[in-house]
Chains A and B, each alone.
Chain A
Amino acid sequence: MTAPAQPRATPPRSDPAPLARRVAAQARYEALTMLRNGEQLLLLVILPLMALVALTLTDLLDASVPAGASRVDVAVPGVLALCVLSNAFSGQGIQTGFDRRYGVLRFLSTTPLGRGGLIAGKLLAIVAVLAVQYVLVAALGAALGWRPDPAAVLVSVPVLLLGAAAFTGLGLLLAGTVRAEATLAVTNLVWVLLAAVGGTLFPSRTLPESLAWLVDLLPSGALGSALRETFLTGAPSLLPVLVLAVWASAAWAGAVRWFRWS
C-alpha cells in the first residue's frame, strides 16, 4: 500500500526468523565450521582418540587403576575431560577470537541473531560437538573393552556440561580480550600443558605431591577427577564439582565484564 504523500514505494517489511530457529541455525553453522576445520578436528577428535588408544595399550595408567577396574575405565573419563578442553576452550576460543578479529561478531550482532543469539548459538554448538565427541570416544572405548554403568553415563552428562561451562567462560574471556593470534597460541599451549600435567588424562595422584593439590584446584584437574569418580564410583565427590562451579562463575563474570566485541 502506498500513501499518497509517498510517491516512492516502501519495501515490504522484513521479519526475523523465530528465536529458536535463529539460534539453531547459528549452532549448526558454528559446529560444522569447527568440525570441518582440519586443525580443529585434530584437536577435537583425532588427538583424544589417539590418547585413548595409547593409554589403553600402554602401562602409563597402571598405577591409577583401582582394583576391579581396567585401564580403559580410567582412560575414558580422562579423554572425555580432554574433549571438553579441546571443544569449549581451544575450539570455541580460537573460533571466537578470529570471528572477533574479522568483524564477524559485529556483523552478526546487526542481524536478527544479535549478541544474545550469537552466544546462545555458540553454547549450543559446543554441546552438539561434545555429543559427537562423546559418541566417538564411547564407541572406541567400547571396542577397547569399556563397559560403563548406564547410571554413570547419565551422571556424566551434567558433570561434562559443568566442565564445558567453565572452559567456555575461560575461552570466551581469552578470545574477547586479547588478539586472535595470542588466543590461538595460548589455547594450544594450555591444551598441551593441561593434557600432560593438568589432571585430565593422568590423575593428579600420579604427579608429585607438591603439584597434585594445585592441579586439583585447576578446572582441568577438577573435571578429570569428577569424571573418573563418576565412572569408577558412580558419582563425583563435592570438591571437584565445587572447584568447577567456582571457575565457571568467575570465568563467566570476567567474560561478561571484559569481553570486547570488536
Chain B
Amino acid sequence: MPVQSPPASSPALAIERLVKQFPVRRRRRGPDRTADAVQAVDGLSLTARHGEITALLGPNGAGKTTTLECAQGLQRPSAGTVRLLGRDPWRADPDLRARVGVMLQDGGLPQAVRPLELLRHVASLYRSPRDMGELVERLGINSFDRTVVRRLSGGQRQRVALAAALAGSPEVLFLDEPSAGMDPQSRNIVFDLVQQLRREGVCIILTTHLLDDAQRLADQVYIVDHGRVMAQGSVAELVAPGADAPAVLALTLAPEQLDAGPFPWEGPGFEDVRASRSGRTVTLTGPLTPALLEAVTRWFTATGTLPESLSLQPRTLEDVFLDISGREIR
C-alpha cells in the first residue's frame, strides 16, 4: 500500500539540527578509559527541493558525507530530524528506497563484473527501470563495457556509479563527490546529465570540495565546516558584494615595484582594507572605494611604472569560503 506523498511544494529533503557523533574507542584499558565521541555533524539544518541542485561545499572532514549518509539511511542520527520525501530515511522501506538514487563517494561497485551486467542487475530491482541502453550510451559506458570494474579509471567508475544510481529514475539523487577522479570530458558529460535531471524535476543533493563544481551546478550552496553550516544561499547571493563583502582588487606588481613601499593600501584611510600577497600578486578585499583606486593609480604614477595587471573582480565562491572559514579549501 503506497504511502501518501507529501504535497509537491514541500521539500524533498529536510534536515533539522542534525547531530551525528561517532564513538571513539580508546585503546587504553583500565579505570581511566574514557568514552570519547567525535562530533562529525553538529546541528546542521538543510533543505533541498525538487528541480534544484543543492551543493554541500566544504573541505575534507567537514561532515558532508556523514550528513549525506544520515539522509540516505546509512547512518542513524544522534539527534535532530531528517525527512526524506516526508519520511524517516533510517526506517526506509523498499518503496522509499526505490524513489532515491545514491552514488557513494567510493562508488560502491563490485570489482569483478562488467559495467552493463552490473547495471542490468541493479535495474532489475525496480518495477519499471530506466532505459539503461540510452543512459549507457549517453554516459559513454558502452566504450568500456568489455572491461571489468576493477580495471576502469576513476572517471569511468564514477560514470558507472552514476548510471547505477539512476537505474530506478529516482526523484531524489544523492551524489557524493561526483567529480572525484574525473577528467574534464567525463565531468562535462556528467554535469550535462545532472542539469537535465534538474529540469525534469529531480532533487539533486551533491557534496563537493571543488568550488568550481558548486559554482557551475548549484542552485543552493551550503558551505559546511566542522559539521555546521557556515553560510548558505545561491551562488549569486553568496558572492554578492554587500557592506562587508565587496569585490576584489587584484594587482600583479612589476618586479621593480616590489621594493617601492610603503604601498598605498597601507596608508591612512585604508585601515580596513585587507591585503594578501603571494609572490607579485596582491589581492585587496574589504571596503574598496574609488579613493583606494585613486591612491593606487597615483602610486603607480609616482613609481613611474605600470603594474603587469590590475583588475576589479567580483567575488568568487572561493573568496566567500576563505572569508568564512579562513581555511584553504583545496
Q: Which residues of B contact A147 (CB under 8 A)?
A: none
Please choose the segment from A56-64, A106-114, A157-165, A223-231 that sits at the chain B interface, where 4 or more of its residues have CB less than 8 A away: A106-114
CB-based contact A111/B113 at 8 Å: no
Contact of B111 among A21, A102, A111 (CB under 8 A): A102
Q: Which residues of B contact A67 (CB under 8 A)?
A: none
CB-based contact A112/B94 at 8 Å: yes
Known contacts A5-B8, A99-B110: A14-B125 contact under CB 8 Å = no
Whether a CB of chain A sits under 8 angstroms from the CB of B97 is yes
Q: Which residues of A contact B322 (CB under 8 A)?
A: none
CB-based contact A107/B108 at 8 Å: yes
Whether a CB of chain A sits under 8 angstroms from the CB of B274 is no
Q: Which residues of B contact A114 (CB under 8 A)?
A: 92, 94, 97
CA distance A26 to B123 in the complex (A): 11
Contact of B108 among A13, A106, A112, A113 (CB under 8 A): A106
Q: Which residues of A contact B109 (CB under 8 A)?
A: 102-104, 107
Whether a CB of chain A sits under 8 angstroms from the CB of B131 is no
* Cβ of A118 to closest chain B Cβ, rounded Å: 11
The 0/1 profile, CB within 8 Å of B marked 1, for residues 78-102 of chain A is 0000000000000000000011001
Whether a CB of chain A sits under 8 angstroms from the CB of B115 is no
The 0/1 profile, CB within 8 Å of A marked 1, for residues 1-24 of chain B is 000010111000000000000000
Q: Which residues of A contact B121 (CB under 8 A)?
A: 25-26, 29
Please choose the segment from B164-172, B223-231, B288-296, B300-308 that sits at the chain A interface, where 4 or more of its residues have CB less than 8 A away: B164-172
CA distance A5 to B49 in the complex (A): 13
CA distance A37 to B199 in the complex (A): 42
Whether a CB of chain B sits under 8 angstroms from the CB of A210 is no
Which residue in chain A gives the minimum CB-CB distance to B197?
Answer: A11
Whether a CB of chain A sits under 8 angstroms from the CB of B127 is yes
Known contacts A3-B7, A14-B171, A15-B126: A8-B51 contact under CB 8 Å = yes
Whether a CB of chain B sits under 8 angstroms from the CB of A33 is yes
CA distance A29 to B94 in the complex (A): 19
Q: How many residues of B contact A (CB 8 A)?
A: 44
Whether a CB of chain A sits under 8 angstroms from the CB of B287 is no
* Cβ of B210 to closest chain A Cβ, rounded Å: 21
Which residue in chain B gives the minimum CB-CB distance to A262?
Answer: B74
Whether a CB of chain B sits under 8 angstroms from the CB of A16 is yes
CB-based contact A22/B125 at 8 Å: yes
Whether a CB of chain B sits under 8 angstroms from the CB of A238 is no
* Cβ of B104 to closest chain A Cβ, rounded Å: 5
A/B pair count, beta carbons within 8 Å: 131
* Cβ of B103 to closest chain A Cβ, rounded Å: 9
Q: Which residues of A contact B169 (CB under 8 A)?
A: 11-12, 14
CB-based contact A17/B124 at 8 Å: yes
Contact of A110 among B72, B124, B128 (CB under 8 A): B72
Q: Which residues of B contact A17 (CB under 8 A)?
A: 124-127
* Cβ of A63 to closest chain B Cβ, rounded Å: 42
Which residue in chain B gives the minimum CB-CB distance to A28?
Answer: B121
CA distance A38 to B97 in the complex (A): 34
Whether a CB of chain A sits under 8 angstroms from the CB of B190 is no
Which residue in chain A gives the minimum CB-CB distance to B103?
Answer: A107
Q: Which residues of A contact B102 (CB under 8 A)?
A: 107, 110-111
CB-based contact B127/A15 at 8 Å: yes
Residue of B9, B106, B110, B168 with highest tally of chain A CB at under 10 A: B110
Whether a CB of chain B sits under 8 angstroms from the CB of A19 is yes
CA distance A36 to B111 in the complex (A): 13
CA distance A113 to B167 in the complex (A): 13
Which residue in chain B gives the minimum CB-CB distance to A1?
Answer: B8
Residue of B5, B94, B99, B107 with highest tally of chain A CB at under 10 A: B94
CB-based contact B5/A111 at 8 Å: no
Whether a CB of chain A sits under 8 angstroms from the CB of B56 is no
Residue of A8, A36, A114 with highest tally of chain B CB at under 10 A: A8
Cβ < 8 Å to A, chain B residues 109-164: 109-113, 121-122, 124-128, 161, 164
Cβ < 8 Å to B, chain A residues 154-202: none
CB-based contact B106/A103 at 8 Å: yes
Cβ < 8 Å to A, chain B residues 269-310: none
Known contacts A3-B9, A19-B94: A10-B110 contact under CB 8 Å = no
* Cβ of A128 to closest chain B Cβ, rounded Å: 15
CB-based contact B74/A14 at 8 Å: no
Which residue in chain B gives the minimum CB-CB distance to A6?
Answer: B8
Q: Which residues of A contact B50 (CB under 8 A)?
A: 6, 8, 10
Contact of A15 among B108, B112, B124, B128 (CB under 8 A): B128
Q: Which residues of B contact A143 (CB under 8 A)?
A: none
Which residue in chain A gives the minimum CB-CB distance to B69?
Answer: A106
Whether a CB of chain A sits under 8 angstroms from the CB of B43 is no
16 A-B residue pairs with Cβ-Cβ distance under 8 Å, sorted by A, are A2-B8, A3-B8, A6-B50, A10-B8, A11-B171, A15-B126, A15-B128, A16-B95, A21-B124, A103-B104, A107-B108, A111-B167, A112-B95, A112-B98, A112-B125, A114-B97
> What 10 additional pairs, Cβ within 8 angstroms, besides A14-B128, A112-B98?
A8-B50, A14-B171, A22-B125, A29-B121, A37-B112, A104-B110, A106-B74, A107-B108, A110-B72, A111-B102
B residues with a Cβ closer than 8 A to A are 5, 7-9, 50-51, 72-74, 92, 94-95, 97-100, 102, 104, 106-113, 121-122, 124-128, 161, 164, 167-171, 199-202
8 A-B pairs with least C-beta separation = A107-B108, A8-B51, A103-B108, A16-B94, A110-B102, A15-B127, A16-B98, A9-B201
